[in-house]
Structure 1
């Protein structure tokens, strides 16, 4: 869908995204092909369909963030043309959207595992995240093989995920990033200084986002492959 903004054809699924999509569809097929489906199984089918949509939304947001980020070359906002400034703001919009979706997908995966494996993480913490579920799985020990695979992913992507989490918390829980930009501009203008955005920061953020997407796609693939094997 978003590729149309750049005059490109629709995406052809490949790589880690394709692996995650295939794993979800295989598990969903085992549920839909059953002669009779329980209400719980129908619930899981709907959940699988939701995962397919959210992974698609994440990839598209990441794609748009990258493409608009490439259009930003100036180091200072007051050096940008009106067109480049628009591209910068579009980059921020899609980057923040993708950033939030990384953790939304992971948390949805955590809630799915909690219900599918009857982990009852809510007894430990009423509002829990994907990472809370992982810690609870480690203590539960019934699914240690899957837990170990997911834990290894967590360790592998720990540094970029921590940076993304901090940015996500800033975006959601503290002052709005655009408002903060405006306040900084007003303060800097008072002293006649330029506002530097740092194109190198854009590239670092996009690299972290790529790592976050990889971790999300891999985690989803591991979970649904595991479920398919157990079906």
Structure 2
């Protein structure tokens, strides 16, 4: 969709995005083997959830791509050296970059809620409003679906540093209401007193590297979880179910 902004053809699915989409579609096909009239409300909910995942990861990749394209069009080291067009491209880059970060963590939290319900993990007993990372901690501490948890934990640790930076930026964007207003005020004051407002263009490159890693982790986490649903280790799944039921009885 957004590639049309740059006069390019629609995206061809490749790499980790393709693997994530394939895993979701495989699980959807498995759910679809049950005729609609015989599907339980729970199964129908999972079908809707899967369709939502397909849209969400597509929108994330589109935002990631647009942020990169507009970022490449910024080369001036100072804001007051920018042409009007370059200044617009800078703000377009920031818009899509922030949009991508928010979407990235929304997908992970969506995945956490999906896993919690699909695997009956009962994470809400630990924390009412929980995140994807709370779900992983619950799985680890209670020995639930160990093989899946280990794969997801490995992904988390592999991308820990860039994900921490992205999460801090996401929290600032969501919770610091006046962040953009303060930036505008500082820019106006510097212009008034003749100080130059330096734009660290290398931050664009660094931020995009973090975003690329975050997207990579997100696509892989989605693919890992849905592949597990289609091809679960039977003994491990049964053991995890028994442990979950036992914990429910003890509560």
TM range (shorter): over 0.9
RMSD of aligned residue pairs (Cα, Å): 1.2
In the alignment, what sits opposite 2:128? 126
In the alignment, what sits opposite 1:27? 27
Q: List per-residue Cα deviations over 1:159-185 (Å, max 9, x = no partner).
A: 000000111111111144432321221
How far apart in 2 are the matches of 1:106 and 1:45?
18
2:189 is aligned, of 187, 194, 201, to 187
- Structure 2 counterpart SS, 1:141: coil
How far apart in 2 are the matches of 1:9 and 1:186?
40
In the alignment, what sits opposite 1:85? 87
Structure 1, unaligned runs of 5 or more: none
Correspondences of 1:51-200 after superposition (within 5 Å): 51-200=53-202
If the length of structure 2 is used for normalisation, what is the TM-score? Answer: 0.89
Q: List per-residue Cα deviations over 1:168-224 (Å, max 9, x = no partner).
A: 111111144432321221332344211112110000000000000000000000000
Alpha-carbon shift at residue 148 of structure 1 (Å): 0.3
Structure 2, unaligned runs of 5 or more: 235-251
How far apart in 1 are the matches of 2:182 and 2:26?
45
In the alignment, what sits opposite 2:15? 15
How far apart in 2 are the matches of 1:152 and 1:143?
14
- The question of whether the paired residues in 2 share the 8 Å contact of 1:119 and 1:140 is answered with no
In the alignment, what sits opposite 2:203? 201
How far apart in 2 are the matches of 1:66 and 1:177?
23
How far apart in 1 are the matches of 2:130 and 2:103?
16
Structure with max Cα Rg = 2
How far apart in 1 are the matches of 2:51 and 2:95?
26
How far apart in 2 are the matches of 1:141 and 1:163?
29
Alpha-carbon shift at residue 39 of structure 1 (Å): 1.2
- The question of whether the paired residues in 1 share the 8 Å contact of 2:173 and 2:179 is answered with yes
**Greater Cα shift, 170-179 or 192-201:** 170-179
**Greater Cα shift, 17-26 or 188-197:** 188-197
**Greater Cα shift, 25-34 or 187-196:** 187-196
